[in-house]
Amino acid sequence: MSIANGDTALATDRHRRQKLLPWLDAGAQERLYGSTVLVTRVGGLGGPLAQSLAVAGVGRIVLFHESALLDEDLHRMILMHPGAVGAPRAPQAVDSLRRLGRPGFEVVGFAERATPETAARWMREADLAIGAAPTYEERLILNDAALAAGKPFVDAAMYADETHVLCVKPGSSACLRCLVPQPPPWRADFPVLGAVSAMIGNLAASLCVRILAGAEPVPWGEFVHLDAERLTLTRTKVPRRPGCPACARAGRASS
């Protein structure tokens, strides 16, 4: 497709249209270009989330995603390649994201689970951590690492038609460990439609962009529950849990 004369200048600024948003001016866009995010898992939820961050102009994505691609992943994991069943997922996600980012965009991928040690190491460079893993334990690892570093954390999750997101402001709002003091029993083969996991992934991505851009409002500490079947959205302010060890570390990080 050719670009008509006169449109050439418009075509040189990839992010011109999103900078028309009142909360995303040129300065905020520069903050996005210079930002690093850390995300655990880029599957049915984290994949669309990372995709939206890449095209929005985030400077660097550091991702953790263990194990190999299954054919049954392909109905929701849009960063994976249908011809690469049996191959590790992380390199496929890195490859897909690199194609989407602007020149200079960087993706660092690890074909393993995030651990407290690796999360803490990367949180020294990251501006934001994101929980999109299919286990509470990995989400809590990133929550804890982000708070210990004094950085925000966004958790997004789903089950069947129900989804939720929580934005954590260290030392100020409730955190994921306030909400989930001990992981409940979990069903690893949870029901999922790719459209629904992508929906909450993209809602979380829009909140991540707001946080990285320094825009308000952000629903800090609110359990935002979005039901794709009933088409309802509820917002519940989660109280900070007295004695929460992650929040205590956030207090030390900010002091």
Partner 1 sequence: MRVRFELTTRLAELAGFRDEALDVTGDTVGDALRALEQRLHGSVLVDEGRLHPSVLVVVDGEVFRRGDGSTPLRGGETVHLMLPVAGG
Per-residue binder mask for partner 1 (CB under 8 A), 236-255, x = binder: xxxx----------------
From 55, 87, 162, 202, residue interacting with partner 1 (rule: CB under 8 A): 162
- Region near partner 1 per CB under 8 A, out of 86-94, 114-122, 141-149, 161-169: 161-169
Write the Ramachandran bin of 41: left for phi over 0, alpha for psi from -120 to 50, otherwise beta. Answer: left
Between β-strands 222-227 and 162-168, what pairing exists: parallel, antiparallel or unpaired?
antiparallel
Task: Show the tokens assigned to 138.
Answer: 């990995």
Query: Nearest approach, Cβ of 104 to partner 1 (angstroms)?
Result: 28
Is 131 exposed, middle or buried (CB count within 10 Å of its CB: 0-12, 13-18, 19+)?
Answer: buried
Closest of 96, 91, 130 to residue 114, by C-alpha: 130
Q: Binding of partner 1 at residue 10 (CB under 8 A)?
A: no
Query: Quick one: which of 82, 83, 185, 243 contacts partner 1 (CB under 8 A)?
Result: 185
Does position 110 interact with partner 1 (CB under 8 A)? The reply is no
Calpha distance 88→97 (Å, rounded): 15
What is the contact surface with partner 1 in residues (CB under 8 A)?
41, 43-46, 131-136, 139, 156-160, 162, 164, 166, 176, 179-187, 190, 192, 197, 223, 225, 234, 236-239
